[in-house]
Amino acid sequence: MDGLSEKLKELRKKKGWTQEDTSREVHVSLSTVQRWEKKGGVPTRLARRELQRLFRREGIALNP
């Protein structure tokens, strides 16, 4: 899932969101988003679905 951390960071920045903004949108802690972006963690299925839903609105896919 190395590509996921880079993709998440890229998409978040495209939207102009901070890590804190993303954490609020996905209903997880700031440290969780930080872990995802530093390749130290993988989103749960539920969180991944929520991320996909959020970014799909922008017409972009989360899949690395």
Which CATH number does the domain housing residue 38 bear? Answer: 1.10.260.40
Q: Is 64 part of any domain? A: no
pTM: 0.80
pLDDT, position 20: 96
Q: Is 39 part of any domain? A: yes
Q: Is 62 part of any domain? A: no
CA distance 1 to 16: 23
Boundaries of domain holding 9: 2-56
Residue range 2-61, pLDDT digits in tens: 588 888 898 889 889 999 999 999 999 999 999 999 977 889 999 988 888 888 776 666
Provide the domain count of the chain.
1
Q: Is 61 part of any domain? A: no
Q: What is the CA radius of gyration of the chain?
A: 10
Six-digit token pair at 52?
Answer: 């996909």
